[in-house]
Structure 1
């Protein structure tokens, strides 16, 4: 049991660090190839926000544990809203004014319903994965068009501002390879440790994916969101979470569908997806607001989100 826990937590740490190195190397290689910074930011850097979840879900699917991968997606989205945004807004209340976020929130809503429609038959198949990848490409195209029209939009600046400093091609390739190796090794550690813990505790892979793995892979969003909010960049903090949730539902959910298609555990659709939808609706209402100038994610709303997240974890405990 100790070895499994150590493998899980060390694996999560290496996974997060390796993802950063991989993205830095890939982005720097693209810069050396003279690819425009905005394109790098809106593709490589933006996808990097969900890279840990993608790799874990892919590895879990390769091992035939699609429930762990699906649980990671749903649990990460719930944690991003209930835990990450909740804690961030308690520290620093956020007023939502960016037009991009007011456009992207409805997109998150639509993507959530798309995922529900694909999962409603109780299984994820290869064609479902293809639909999710096509939707991801359309989303990246849409957000790039926004960037071309308004390079100073907070959401665009969030991704383009995260591009690493220039490195030589040799150094860029080195970090790219190191990051890739770390992603492969650490994700294997996370999946192995999570499955072993699940078997030891007598709970399902789905529950472990919804809790320990999901919270662990959501830590980068928590750190980035708190840092942005403290700097007074509320739009970037909120945009980080919304963008991550969209990528989780499109890119990460596509992994088990493409690699290990088939039926998944019924509670994922009957219990966890409706709860994720409820958190998304709450975020939509709090952030979009009823006033024309936008909504506010204050301490009261944030307390509701964190309380809801705690209640969700308690529900999982009772049912497990």
Structure 2
């Protein structure tokens, strides 16, 4: 019964998150607010809402392992999505056809993973008003890095404005977004609760449940986004949605630390998350290498980094299981 509820919750989360993305896109098109602000925060927040509600619920029921594992696991699974699609569409050589700005975003993601990896190695963490110092570093570096990336990507942003304008009204999109957000909140909460019970009833490691089972479920909306982008040959959208979502998820991890009052959340979480954090740093580094290299002659030589990411991900999953 628990497994059935878990699967049902995952399906509802995916369906609601896809709707959130669709409605958020319409709002970004038709709102009087700045398009970059609405798109960056509203749409990125829409695809990351399942991770947020799941992790906050995990904190509420006193399971920091699922909260931390969900965020880190979602980022790792997102990079896996990118690698798998790059492998399937290897003849198109995606990483050689995208904007240079993605290198900066990938580098920022690696730095944030490095901070989490370092904090998980420490037995204690300096806290300020109950929030770990590592989380404050994450916020600071994210803000500085985002500002730097924004200043160096003005020329490329205008090229991504060629999109089909939806016939849906702004009012319809706003109401739909709110309803979908409520559904996502409820389903995401159920996903965390059933995941917690699944770990207890089956004897599975809570870190494994959070890092892989729940993380994979909440990352499926990103999979749909990347699939659509590849079908349209819009590789900038594919990479940007994944790397941007990963940066946003790191900020949501900060929020979970604020909500978790017992201690710094990286201290309360199991040390087994260190493996996931190191995996994310490795996968991010390989993705950055793919973005930096140019002029690969053969298709199979080109796709080796993505193949490496995929193989290492499944080996790590087996080790945690």
Q: Provide TM-score, normalisation by structure 2.
A: 0.82
- Partners in 1 of 2:49 and 2:7 — Cα distance? 17
CA contact (8 A) 1:92 1:230 kept: no
CA contact (8 A) 2:65 2:269 kept: yes
Q: Secondary structure at the match of 2:272?
A: helix
Using the TM superposition, name which of 21-30 and 90-99 deviates more.
21-30
What residue number does 2:271 align with?
266
Please, which of 54, 65, 68 is the counterpart of residue 66 of structure 2?
Answer: 68
- Partners in 2 of 1:195 and 1:212 — Cα distance? 11
- Partners in 2 of 1:20 and 1:284 — Cα distance? 28
CA contact (8 A) 2:24 2:173 kept: yes
- 1:46 and 1:313, CA in 2 relative to 1: closer, same or farther beyond 3 A? same
**What aligned pairs does 1:63-102 form with structure 2 within 5 A after superposition?**
63-81=61-79, 83-93=80-90, 94-97=94-97, 98-102=99-103
- Partners in 1 of 2:124 and 2:255 — Cα distance? 13
Question: Can you give the 5+ residue segments of structure 2 that lack an aligned partner in the other structure?
Answer: none
Using the TM superposition, name which of 177-186 and 138-147 deviates more.
138-147
Q: Deviations over 1:132-169 (max 9, x none)?
A: 3444444554454455444335xxx3xx6789736545
What residue number does 2:40 align with?
42
CA contact (8 A) 2:55 2:70 kept: yes
Using the TM superposition, name which of 59-68 and 144-153 deviates more.
144-153
Structure 2 residue 311 is matched with structure 1 residue 307: yes
CA contact (8 A) 2:21 2:47 kept: no
- 1:134 and 1:232, CA in 2 relative to 1: closer, same or farther beyond 3 A? same
- Partners in 1 of 2:16 and 2:285 — Cα distance? 33
Deviation at 1:265, TM superposition (A): 0.6
Structure 2 residue 131 is matched with structure 1 residue 126: yes
What residue number does 2:252 align with?
252
Q: Secondary structure at the match of 1:152?
A: helix
CA contact (8 A) 1:126 1:258 kept: yes
- Partners in 1 of 2:148 and 2:58 — Cα distance? 30
Deviation at 1:222, TM superposition (A): 2.0
Q: Deviations over 1:38-73 (max 9, x none)?
A: 321122113333222122111111221111011112
Q: Provide TM-score, normalisation by structure 1.
A: 0.82
Structure 2 residue 290 is matched with structure 1 residue 286: yes
Q: Secondary structure at the match of 1:49?
A: helix
CA contact (8 A) 1:40 1:163 kept: no
**What aligned pairs does 1:83-162 form with structure 2 within 5 A after superposition?**
83-93=80-90, 94-97=94-97, 98-122=99-123, 125-128=130-133, 129-146=135-152, 148-153=154-159, 157=160
CA contact (8 A) 1:26 1:172 kept: yes
Question: Can you give the 5+ residue segments of structure 1 that lack an aligned partner in the other structure?
Answer: none
What residue number does 1:240 align with?
241
- Please provide the CA RMSD for this pair: 3.1
Using the TM superposition, name which of 40-49 and 202-211 deviates more.
40-49
Deviation at 1:186, TM superposition (A): 0.2
- Partners in 2 of 1:242 and 1:115 — Cα distance? 17
CA contact (8 A) 1:54 1:251 kept: no
Structure 2 residue 273 is matched with structure 1 residue 276: no
CA contact (8 A) 2:50 2:185 kept: no
| Count of aligned pairs | 306
Using the TM superposition, name which of 64-73 and 137-146 deviates more.
137-146
